[in-house]
């Protein structure tokens, strides 16, 4: 058993052009004031982080970490979710996803993909220079438009999509191995890796690559009606990162999993601040502690109702209250009588 680290906060939902969310020193000071001791950094947000410089300069990374440490904050991981999304994009989403990439590659899917691969590799280099061990990302998706089989999917369509997805990610995973960094795919609807089965389809095609791990976020499993606690048993050796994000699912006679094209507040399934939804975090923290997960509990604030700054402050306390400090002795040690082999055999009636 190991004690989970935290609380930490994913900064992607908070970075903005407004003070104190527009520069690294200010946002880490704010995070510390909320009660956090770590932050997960969106590698694409130049207001906070210079990815290209971090990929080549240990001095920059040391300074970056040092400024956070002055505010009592540790850098937990980098995120390359937006860039990872662009490693594999179905043409149906080309226009929507162009906004994630540099303007120079807009309208050119192949150039955008090449740009995304370089970005993820730079994020791995930067993670090494920062002394980190894991990078969070999305897998991207080629098969997602065909998730619900109507009309019937042609034979081999999904297999071809996953073959291509694996071919695109294999060189990146090998680069991760060279850097000693795990790539933790957030298992997420909209991605080809959206549940355990699809993750295994990918894992088989990359020959069980040791660096292909998971970012565990139970909120996405609640909205799929998937057993998120059993999932931890199934993938105990593959969980590399943990997002503390809550969700609720309240189906009605009119609406279910797919949400009826409604806005987030009006969906049957919607994200909530930690503690406001249906996720049993007591069971999750207990399971992760027993498994020996020693990574960070990172609040990813997304809520259809609550103000983000309230959610951030409440989230820090919520995680702190759920982290289990591992005991160094058994609770019933006071009653231990001591024994040896001879005494044990005598207790079992095996003597004489």
Residues 6+ apart with CB under 8 A from 274: 244, 245, 246, 281, 299, 311, 314, 315, 318, 319
Q: How many whole angstroms separate alpha carbon 75 and alpha carbon 228? A: 27
**DSSP letter assigned to residue 231:** H
Domains parsed from the chain with CATH numbers: 5-347 (3.20.20.150)
Residue 352 is predicted with a pLDDT of 58
**Looking only at Cα atoms, what is the longest distance across the chain?**
87
Cα–Cα separations (whole angstroms), residue 212 to 237, 274, 287: 11, 27, 21
Q: Give pLDDT < 70 ranges for the chain.
A: 352
Burial level of 335, CB count in 10 A (0-12/13-18/19+)?
Answer: exposed
CA distance 186 to 214: 6
- Which tokens hold the place of 167? 């071919």
Q: Are the C-beta atoms of residues 137 and 80 closer than 8 Å to each other?
A: yes
pLDDT at residue 351, as a whole number: 76
Give the pLDDT of residue 170.
98
For residue 153, give the nearest of 161, 163, 167 by alpha carbon: 161
pLDDT one-digit tens code per residue, 263-297: 999 999 999 999 999 999 999 999 999 999 999 99
User: For position 331, what pLDDT does the model report?
Assistant: 75
Please write the tens of the pLDDT for every residue from 131-153: 999 999 999 999 999 999 999 99
**Bridge-based pairing state of the strands 134-137 and 74-79:** parallel
pLDDT at res. 289 = 98
Our separate counts of H helices and E strands in the chain read: 13, 10
The pLDDT value recorded for residue 344 is: 86
Structure tokens at 206: 């990359």
3-state helix, strand, coil in the chain (%, to 5): 45, 15, 40
CA terminus-to-terminus distance, the chain:
40
Peptide bond into 94 cis (omega under 30): no
Q: What is the pLDDT of residue 330?
A: 79
């Amino acid at each position: 058993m190991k004690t989970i680290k935290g609380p930490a906060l994913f900064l992607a939902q908070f970075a903005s052009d407004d003070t104190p969310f527009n520069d690294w020193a200010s946002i880490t000071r704010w995070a510390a004031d909320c009660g956090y001791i770590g932050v997960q950094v969106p590698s694409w947000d130049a207001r906070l982080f210079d990815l290209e410089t971090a990929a080549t300069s240990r001095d920059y990374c040391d300074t970056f970490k040092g400024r956070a440490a002055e505010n009592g904050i540790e850098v937990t991981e980098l995120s390359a979710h937006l860039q990872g999304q662009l490693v594999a994009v179905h043409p149906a989403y080309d226009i929507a996803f162009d906004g994630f990439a540099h303007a120079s590659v807009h309208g050119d899917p192949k150039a955008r993909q090449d740009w995304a691969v370089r970005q993820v590799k730079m994020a791995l280099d930067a993670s090494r220079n920062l002394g980190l061990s894991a990078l969070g990302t999305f897998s991207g998706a080629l098969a997602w438009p065909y998730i619900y089989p109507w009309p019937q999917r042609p034979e081999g369509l999904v297999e071809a999509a996953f073959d291509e997805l694996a071919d695109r990610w294999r060189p990146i995973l090998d680069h991760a191995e060279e850097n000693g960094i795990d790539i933790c795919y957030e298992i997420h609807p909209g991605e080809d890796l959206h549940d355990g089965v699809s993750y295994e389809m990918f894992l088989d095609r990359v020959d069980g690559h040791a660096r292909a791990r998971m970012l565990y976020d139970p909120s996405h499993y609640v909205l799929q009606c998937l057993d998120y606690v059993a999932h931890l048993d199934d993938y105990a050796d593959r969980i590399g990162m943990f997002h503390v994000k809550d969700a609720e699912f309240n189906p009605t006679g009119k609406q279910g999993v797919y949400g009826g094209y409604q806005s987030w507040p009006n969906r049957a399934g919607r994200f909530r601040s930690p503690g406001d939804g249906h996720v049993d975090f007591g069971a999750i923290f207990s399971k992760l502690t027993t498994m020996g997960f020693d990574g960070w509990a990172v609040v990813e604030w997304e809520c259809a109702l609550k103000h983000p700054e309230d959610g951030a402050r409440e989230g820090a306390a919520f995680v702190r209250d759920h982290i289990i400090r591992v005991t160094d002795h058994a609770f019933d040690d006071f009653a231990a009588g001591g024994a040896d082999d001879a005494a044990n055999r005598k207790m079992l009636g095996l003597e004489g």
